[in-house]
Amino acid sequence: MNRTLKGQGFDPLQPAEASDPGPISIDLPDPSAGTAPLPAETEYEIVGGINQNIKEPDTEASNAASESMLVDTAWEMGDPGSAMGAAEEFAPVDAIFGSYPDLMDNALAEVVIGPDNRVRVQNTAIYPWRAICGLRILAANGARYIGTGWLIGPRTVITAGHCVFLHDAGGWARSIEVIPGLNDATRPFGSHTGTALRSVTGWTQSKNRDHDYGAIILPPDHRPGAQTGTFGFAVRDDAFLRNAALNLSGYPGDKGGSQQWFHAQKAKSLSSRVITYEIDTAGGQSGSPVWVLQNGQRYAVGIHTNGASSGNSATRIVTPVFNNMQNWKNQGA
């Protein structure tokens, strides 16, 4: 049984000057469903700092960077349309290796399944492609990684949890450069560096793939979403997702990490927290939006995180994820 609520919870993907689109529907899962709780008398051992005993895995986690600190420390790399200098180049290494270094050996962070059906987005200066961002991640230990994010508000960028918190690279990233609509050396909407990072304890403390999502809150004077437009986001039930056309676009490292590539398919399988599909991806697309185009509006239903030859997958936007995203959007208003 599903219930339908009406609300004004988020922006459909519209240019910044568009008017409020009105109510949207959110399919909420049956509250009686879910996994059984961990018995009170038993606990998992904590090994290597990974705590699987977290009772509220969607509790917000933050690196606690203050707004005033951001004004002083965040900086912009490049101007709109400027070329990326050699000193600023990042090797195209996906951020997932910062939490799962063992994946470097088998290169299964994200994969092309069968023939490569990805299509390059040639014009990233138009909507919705301009709301998708290349990420340049500087880890706490000095390692550098790439990823993908997408704007849901003027200053709020959603991405994978492993792009903001890297377990084997010092934890919270030192800084993340956000480049909306990056297209080779061209940055049509400039470049913005954030140090205020968000995720949830299910990722930062438990390294649980089901809770691999996070956000970057850009400084108050950096508002690229006001220029690019933003993605909507929604909770959708199994019946909807099984039949939906799922779209995914991001910045794969096998194409250099500075070109946006797109592919779309239906879901292969669903679980309560994961959407699995055979959409072709590669390392660097971690954090990409997985969205549906419905009645002319675009709503993200997942955050692409990882995969295998049996299927790539996204963290599914369910009610707790939606609520955190709405909170992070408000923080970046």
List, by residue number, the catalytic residues.
162, 286
For the chain, helix (H) and strand (E) counts, in that order, are 6, 21
Tell me which DSSP letter residue 125 carries: T
Distance CA 137, CA 148 (A): 10
The number of beta carbons lying within 10 Å of the beta carbon of residue 123 is 11
Omega cis (within 30) before 128 = yes
Per-residue CA distances from 111 to 100, 117, 170, 285, 320 (Å): 15, 12, 26, 10, 28
Listed residue (222, 204, 205) closest to 213, CA to CA: 204
In the chain, % helix, strand, coil (3-state, to 5) comes to: 20, 30, 50
Distance CA 151, CA 225 (A): 6
Distance CA 235, CA 24 (A): 11
